[in-house]
Amino acid sequence: MNPTIALAGNPNSGKTTLFNELTGAHQHVGNYPGVTVEKKQGKYIANGYEATIVDLPGTYSLSAYSLEEVVARDFLVNEKPAVVVNIVDASNLERNLYLTLQFMELGIPVCIALNMMDVAKSRGVSIDVKKLSELLGVSVVPTVARSGKGKIDIMEAALKITAEDSSKQVLNISYGSDLDNTLLTMEAIITENAFLSLVYPSRWVALKYLEEDEHVIGSGRKSDAEISVQLEQEVKSVSDHLKKTLNTYPEALIADHRYGYIKSILKQGVIT
């Protein structure tokens, strides 16, 4: 078995440092197909295990605002790595977990390397790793990539996931009654028509339409223009309603609820 494991995280979370620690001299640098974004790939070899490690571009989100985000997303969806090791900066937990939620919403198996634990500690921040893991429902391993601390443990956690049944567990966050109702309607349309849903989870496609993600909407129009129009009408109708009632728009409300979800987890004694 030689599973592919993707390293993903916010810029400056310590991703390159961990990649170097894990792969040592076994590295290859190229580009992602068709773009000038660097693709670093390497081999992790230890204790009789071998895995291919792909270093994804550093991103804050999986929307389509930057080339890096699109490259990272396309790799995850098209190449389907066995697991994502999400490097999370422990000293900046709330912002970093925003990306984590998006892997979970996309139904990608994920484990967390909770990095920069030394920095968090020096700032007097103590994190209950076990509680964070329980509340998120994913493995969390504390690491200090700069000294290699925790690197064996995070790989053990990742390799354990690769050996498990990979049936998709998709995280469903509530986005408030207006968007939740629209999401249900859109999901039903998407599922009934197998619209893009061979590639992405139905709810995720609906969310991307609500976020007005040009890449997903463009693919949708190409794949089935009629269904795409139906979905776009649903988006327009809820957008008009939200503008009138709350003076907001779906994308802003989605981001608010994601941060609300993260805050509600962190408030339950994760950070002391």
The correct pick among 35, 37, 77, 119 for binding ligand BGO (CB under 6 A) is 119
Q: Which is nearer to ligand BGO, 57 or 250 (CB)?
A: 57
Q: Which region among 102-110, 111-119, 197-205, 230-238 touches ligand BGO (by CB under 6 A)? A: 111-119
Q: Is 182 among the residues that bind ligand BGO (CB under 6 A)?
A: no
Q: Is 17 among the residues that bind ligand BGO (CB under 6 A)?
A: yes
Beta carbon of residue 61, minimum distance to ligand BGO (angstroms, whole number):
15
Who's near 212: CB < 8 A, 6+ residues apart?
235, 250, 251
* DSSP-derived pairing of the beta strands 38-46 and 27-31: antiparallel
Q: Is 118 among the residues that bind ligand BGO (CB under 6 A)?
A: yes
The correct pick among 114, 144, 205, 254 for binding ligand BGO (CB under 6 A) is 144
Q: Which is nearer to ligand BGO, 51 or 144 (CB)?
A: 144
Q: Which is nearer to ligand BGO, 87 or 205 (CB)?
A: 87
Q: Which is nearer to ligand BGO, 123 or 241 (CB)?
A: 123
Query: How many residues belong to the site for ligand BGO (CB under 6 A)?
Result: 16
Q: Which is nearer to ligand BGO, 119 or 173 (CB)?
A: 119
Q: Is 250 among the residues that bind ligand BGO (CB under 6 A)?
A: no
Q: Is 12 among the residues that bind ligand BGO (CB under 6 A)?
A: yes
DSSP string over the chain: ---EEEEEE-TTSSHHHHHHHHHTT-EEEEE-TTS--EEEEEEEEETTEEEEEEEPPP-S-SSSSSHHHHHHHHIIIII--SEEEEEEEGGGHHHHHHHHHHHHHTT--EEEEEE-HHHHHHTT--B-HHHHHHHHTS-EEE-BGGGTBTHHHHHHHHHHHHHS------------HHHHHHHHHHHHHHHHTT-STTTS-HHHHHHHHHTT-HHHHHHHHHH-HHHHHHHHHHHHHHHHHHHHHHS--HHHHHHHHHHHHHHHHHTTTTB-
Contact in structure between 108 and 161 (CB atoms under 8 Å): no
CA atoms within 13 A on the CB side of 31: 6
Beta carbon of residue 77, minimum distance to ligand BGO (angstroms, whole number):
22
Q: Which region among 7-15, 60-68, 96-104, 184-192 touches ligand BGO (by CB under 6 A)? A: 7-15
Strand order from edge to edge, sheet including 83-89: 27-31, 38-46, 49-55, 4-9, 83-89, 110-115, 140-142
The correct pick among 8, 76, 111, 145 for binding ligand BGO (CB under 6 A) is 145
Q: Is 9 among the residues that bind ligand BGO (CB under 6 A)?
A: yes
The correct pick among 58, 81, 109, 201 for binding ligand BGO (CB under 6 A) is 58
Beta carbon of residue 118, minimum distance to ligand BGO (angstroms, whole number):
5
Q: Is 16 among the residues that bind ligand BGO (CB under 6 A)?
A: yes
Q: Which is nearer to ligand BGO, 95 or 222 (CB)?
A: 95
Residues of the shown chain interacting with ligand BGO in the complex, contacts defined by CB under 6 A? 9, 11-17, 58, 115-116, 118-119, 144-146
